[in-house]
Amino acid sequence: MSEIETVTPVRAMQMVQEGAVLIDIRERNEHASENIPGARHHALSQIDAAHPVRAGDTVLIFHCRSGARTRMNAKRLAAAAGECDVYLLGGGIEAWRRAGLPTISGAGETNHPQGGLIGRLSSLFR
């Protein structure tokens, strides 16, 4: 198996806009405390019991907190993804947040970090 490509948060966001599915492999409590809007939750501990692929999926981007869990389990995730193209979100949700992309807190609030890409871009249009 060839190495699975790691994508940046901005590239992952573009891919999701083009139809890719972002899959959060963190455990339920981690996902509940903060998650990426629209990401499908499928805990790594359940990957072998139930596959994360749904009808119509063609591209999957797996993420965790920092990227370490997805890298360590890349072959297992690729096997669970079947025929889908598989990517890893480099740096996980932490990198997503640092890039200024939105997350949802456990309280249901959408967080838009000001220092990241989105914050910098939005300041240009004020």
> In 2-116, which residue ranges form alpha helices assigned H by DSSP?
9-17, 28-33, 68-72, 74-80, 92-98
Which region among 62-71, 84-93, 107-116 has the lowest average model confidence (pLDDT)? 107-116
Number of domains in the chain: 1
**Domain region containing 41:** 5-124
- State the pairing for strand pair 21-24/34-35: unpaired
Catalytic residue among 44, 61, 64, 101: 64
State pTM to two decimals.
Answer: 0.85
Q: Hey, is 60 helix, strand or coil?
A: strand
Q: Is 84 tagged catalytic?
A: no
Angle, alpha carbons 118-121-122 (nearest 5°):
85
pLDDT digit string, tens, across residues 110-119: 776 655 454 4
> Residue 22 belongs to a domain with what CATH number?
3.40.250.10
Contact indicator for 12, 30 with CB cutoff of 8 Å = no
